[in-house]
Structure 1
Amino acid sequence: MAARTTANPARTDVHGIERTNDDNVGAIAAFRAKHEWFDHIMRMQERYSSMGGNQYSAGITYFSVLSIFPILMLLFAGLGFVLAGNPQLLDEVRQQITESVDGSISETLTEILDTAVEQRGSVAGIGALTALWSGLGWMNNLRYGVSKMWKLNPVGGNFFVNKLRDLIGLITLLLALVLAFGVTAVGASGLTADLLDHIGLGDIPGINYITYAVAVIVGVLANYMVFFWLVKFMPRTKTPLKSCAKAALVGAIGFEILKQFGSLFFSNALSNPAGATFGPIIGVMALLYFIWRILLYSSAWAATTEESLALVDYDVPEPAVIRVRREVHTGTSASKTAAMLGAGAVAGGLLASLFGGK
């Protein structure tokens, strides 16, 4: 039988090496080799951990909270402009505050409202500048973290073009988040029940469960649009459409679950004085942190599909330079060698004279 000159494909591993015996792999490695979906999940986790996903999520959360306050200043300024032009609406808002909140808190909120109306111009100017500065920093760090999940260096490119993209991304992200949270808020509030009662459908058996299910489905669709845009267009690289679409669906479902738990948390936290004081800011920070974790996990999922890995251009290593040095190692030095030769010559001469004399 002729000897085989090519590798046996059945015994060749991914590195092109033919193996006669399989390595003794562990249970997890064997399960990964058997199930591709589990191997993909493990690749996602490895990518997320190796690229510092938790650290980037925490950093993005910091810049997100830093951007909230200037944006709220702009909202208060806009509310001030609206109320300043409509005194009747301003009186209704004051009356609503007085009826809803008792004691000194009502007076404090009324003073804040009056200040927002009187100083609406300065509040709008300061809020606009700080919102622009902090918002662009927020988007830059968000794009940085998402790009890292694709093992990209997000630094580079034209400065003004990048800032323009970040500005457009900031406006789009704010509108998308308002839409996503607005759908969940409407579904979880009593507005849906009031609307059903108004149109005469409130007495239908099980209508509350139906409306809740519809609200969840609509919320997932809204989340999907948000995550698809973030996963597809945030990283500074070409991203496969199919991988991003699947990753966005995973992120949308996780985001909806998070929103449902968030609505329960805020409804319970605001029901007591301690929760009303500290609950909102802690809840917002925790909510934003988990949102960005879901986003980075989704990006890592999209970046580790076979389709995405096939597009990776690995860096070519520098050419190796081989320098050959010729070195001669001798056991003895030249002087010692000469002395040994001289001693050998003398001994040979003595022997010759002795034997010659005989």
Structure 2
Amino acid sequence: MGRGAGKAVVGKGVRRAGATLARYRERDGDHYAAAVTFFSLLALVPLVMVAVSVAGFVLAGDRLLATELDRVIDGSLPPEIGGQVTGVVHTVVGERGRIGLLALAVAAYSGWSWISNVRDAVTAMLGQERTPRPLLRGIAADVVVLAGVGLAMAVSFGLAALTGAAGTGLLHLTGLTGGFAHFVLVAGSLLLGLAANWLVIAWCLAHLPRRPLPLRSTLRPAGAAAVGLAALQQAGGLYLHLLGRSPAVAAFGTLVGVLLFVYLVVRWLLMVTVWLTVRAEPPAGTLAADVRYAGTTLGAGASAELVVRTLSGR
């Protein structure tokens, strides 16, 4: 009886996975994933400009640091290249205000364009129809969602980082620095990281569509999405580890790796979004059941990640 029930569960899971892939292709999921990847990388350009502007303000306010940077550049690069790099640095310092204002303007536009395309992709994967709305109203709604996504990520990952730091401090305070204590700390950090991803993804799945979904309906899929995202992060770390020490290979391979990583992450999250529309099983009776289901998934994912880190020594 147990074996028959197990086969039924596996069969249901396989059918659901097949239906998810079929619907994902029908809704042009790969095309949306490629478009979101492009807009994601494009949105990084003004952020780099903002960072450059901030660096210019820092160098302008600390002449000793600026002098030390010039010395390092002159000592590390050939004279003809070092002179050009130093000139660029001085230009950045002199034009830091203009660069910052331009970067902020471009970042505002690219951020709105990014979140708008992400919302369109998620809406299409859910099979929702886009209802026309006034331009200004649509921009305002996108900006509010973008702010919510940023706040959710900041709060979740901030809490996970603070908790990890507090755990390390507690171990040092109590003098528990042995292997088992370190093992418990790593396991707890992995679980907290997965929980942070779970909360962010659940919030995004509920609020990114043009017609928001109930948060409860996204809890189970978000748990699976968080585990898959952690697996992609581990694969990305292994890829960077295997690049080698050649600067040329590392530079080119890192660029390709970032592009591939962003595409795979977007593709996975869009597949999970489609999964929301092909749920074969009836919804659980209580919110606690959904949380327990997601917690079990996160626990299994944390255990698997801990085993991978232990075997790989990373």
**Normalization by structure 2: what TM-score?**
0.71
Q: Give 2:14's match in structure 1, choosing from 29, 38, 42.
A: 38
- Aligned residue for 1:153, secondary structure, equals coil
Verify the 8 A CA contact 1:243 1:308 in the aligned structure 2: no
Q: Name structure 1 gaps, 5 residues minimum.
A: 1-30, 310-358
Query: How far did residue 146 of structure 1 move?
Result: 0.4
Q: Which residue identity is paired with 1:71? A: L
Per the alignment, residue 293 of structure 2 pairs with: none
1:1-20 paired onto structure 2 within 5 Å? none
Q: Which residue identity is paired with 1:219? A: G
Per the alignment, residue 291 of structure 1 pairs with: 265
1:217-256 paired onto structure 2 within 5 Å? 217-256=191-230
Q: Which residue identity is paired with 1:42? A: G
- Aligned residue for 2:128, secondary structure, equals coil
Per the alignment, residue 121 of structure 1 pairs with: 97
Pick closer, same or farther for the CA change 1:131–1:240 going to 2, 3 Å.
same
Per the alignment, residue 303 of structure 1 pairs with: 277
Pick closer, same or farther for the CA change 1:180–1:46 going to 2, 3 Å.
farther
Per the alignment, residue 128 of structure 2 pairs with: 152
In terms of mean alpha carbon deviation, does 142-151 or 126-135 score higher? 126-135
Q: Which residue identity is paired with 1:158? A: P
Verify the 8 A CA contact 2:43 2:107 in the aligned structure 1: yes
1:77 aligns with 2:77: no
Per the alignment, residue 246 of structure 2 pairs with: 272
In terms of mean alpha carbon deviation, does 250-259 or 38-47 score higher? 38-47
Pick closer, same or farther for the CA change 1:301–1:267 going to 2, 3 Å.
same
CA shift digits 1:111-170 (9 cap, x unpaired): 655443322111112212222222211111111110011112235222112212222333
Asked which structure has the greater RCO (Cα within 8 Å, sep 6+), the reply is 2
Pick closer, same or farther for the CA change 1:149–1:132 going to 2, 3 Å.
same
CA shift digits 1:223-254 (9 cap, x unpaired): 11221122110111242433311111111111
C-alpha distance in structure 2 between counterparts of 1:266 and 1:243, whole Å = 36
Pick closer, same or farther for the CA change 1:152–1:306 going to 2, 3 Å.
same
CA shift digits 1:295-345 (9 cap, x unpaired): 101111112225999xxxxxxxxxxxxxxxxxxxxxxxxxxxxxxxxxxxx
1:345-356 paired onto structure 2 within 5 Å? none
Q: Name structure 2 gaps, 5 residues minimum.
A: 1-6, 284-314
C-alpha distance in structure 1 between counterparts of 2:162 and 2:101, whole Å = 32
Verify the 8 A CA contact 1:84 1:117 in the aligned structure 2: yes
C-alpha distance in structure 2 between counterparts of 1:90 and 1:183, whole Å = 35
1:142 aligns with 2:115: no
C-alpha distance in structure 2 between counterparts of 1:121 and 1:157, whole Å = 37
Verify the 8 A CA contact 1:143 1:154 in the aligned structure 2: no
C-alpha distance in structure 1 between counterparts of 2:174 and 2:83, whole Å = 40
Q: CA RMSD in A?
A: 4.0
Pick closer, same or farther for the CA change 1:98–1:221 going to 2, 3 Å.
farther
The structure having more radius of gyration, on CA atoms, is 1
Query: How far did residue 83 of structure 1 move?
Result: 3.9
Q: Percent sequence identity over matched residues?
A: 27
1:260 aligns with 2:211: no
Q: Give 2:144's match in structure 1, choosing from 164, 168, 173.
A: 168
Per the alignment, residue 68 of structure 1 pairs with: 44
Pick closer, same or farther for the CA change 1:203–1:90 going to 2, 3 Å.
farther
C-alpha distance in structure 1 between counterparts of 2:63 and 2:152, whole Å = 32
C-alpha distance in structure 1 between counterparts of 2:44 and 2:57, whole Å = 20
Verify the 8 A CA contact 2:202 2:215 in the aligned structure 1: no
Query: How far did residue 199 of structure 1 move?
Result: 6.1
- Aligned residue for 1:154, secondary structure, equals coil
C-alpha distance in structure 1 between counterparts of 2:42 and 2:189, whole Å = 31
Per the alignment, residue 210 of structure 1 pairs with: 184
Pick closer, same or farther for the CA change 1:69–1:215 going to 2, 3 Å.
same
Verify the 8 A CA contact 2:203 2:215 in the aligned structure 1: no
C-alpha distance in structure 2 between counterparts of 1:142 and 1:289, whole Å = 13
C-alpha distance in structure 1 between counterparts of 2:250 and 2:193, whole Å = 26
**Normalization by structure 1: what TM-score?**
0.63
Query: How far did residue 285 of structure 1 move?
Result: 1.0
Per the alignment, residue 29 of structure 2 pairs with: 53
